[in-house]
Amino acid sequence: MKIIAIGRNYAEHAKELNNPIPTVPVIFMKPDTALLKDNKPFYHPEFSQDIHHEIELVLKVCKEGKHISEKFAANYYDEIGLGVDFTARDIQSRHKEKGLPWELAKAFDGSAPISSFMPKSDFKDLYNIDFHLDINGETKQSGNTNMLLFSFESIIAFVSQYITIKKGDLIFTGTPAGVGKVNVGDHLEGYIGDNKLLDFFVK
Q: Which residues bind Mg ion (CB under 5 A)?
A: 54, 85, 175
Residue 155 burial (CB count, 10 A): 25
Cβ proximity to Mg ion: between 28 and 201 the closer is: 28
Cβ proximity to Mg ion: between 65 and 91 the closer is: 91
- Of 82, 93, 70, the C-alpha closest to 17 is 93
Alpha helix segments (H runs only) across 64-121: 89-98, 103-106
With beta carbons less than 8 A apart as the criterion, state whether 65 and 183 touch. Answer: no
- Min separation Cβ 28 and Mg ion, Å: 9
- Judged by phi (left if over 0) then psi (alpha if -120 to 50, else beta), residue 198 lies in beta
- Min separation Cβ 84 and Mg ion, Å: 9
Cβ proximity to Mg ion: between 17 and 62 the closer is: 17
- Min separation Cβ 79 and Mg ion, Å: 19
Give the residue nearest to Mg ion (CB).
85
- Min separation Cβ 71 and Mg ion, Å: 27
Cβ proximity to Mg ion: between 30 and 60 the closer is: 30
State the number of CA atoms in the 13 A half-sphere of 48 facing the CB: 25
